């Protein structure tokens, strides 16, 4: 993170793709049920600590679920400036 008098810059690692890209490039434009269950479970696990601190991610959508690789699926969440406390 770089702070300047009027701006803050957050630098993140470059990731390969996001969940929306995965959905759009998959067969039939959707993910298999087992993969969807896995991804949703991972999202809920990641959001749990925020929930306990009364923080709400107000812009959670597939393009904000970043995937470090295709397999396994470590996830990161972007656009967290849209949070509510």
Active-site residue flag, 59: yes
77/2 Cα distance (integer angstroms): 20
Q: Which residues contact 60 (CB under 8 A, 6 or more apart)?
A: 43, 47, 77
Residue of 27, 59, 71, 79 marked active site: 59
> Hey, which residues are catalytic here?
59
């Amino acid at each position: 993170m770089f702070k300047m008098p009027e701006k803050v810059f957050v630098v993140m690692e470059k990731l390969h793709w996001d969940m929306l890209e995965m959905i759009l490039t998959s067969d039939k434009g959707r993910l298999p049920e087992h993969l969807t269950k896995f991804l949703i479970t991972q999202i809920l696990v990641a959001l749990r600590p925020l929930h306990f601190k009364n923080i709400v991610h107000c812009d959670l959508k597939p393009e904000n679920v970043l995937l470090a690789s295709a397999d396994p699926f470590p996830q990161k969440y972007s656009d967290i400036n849209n949070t509510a406390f």
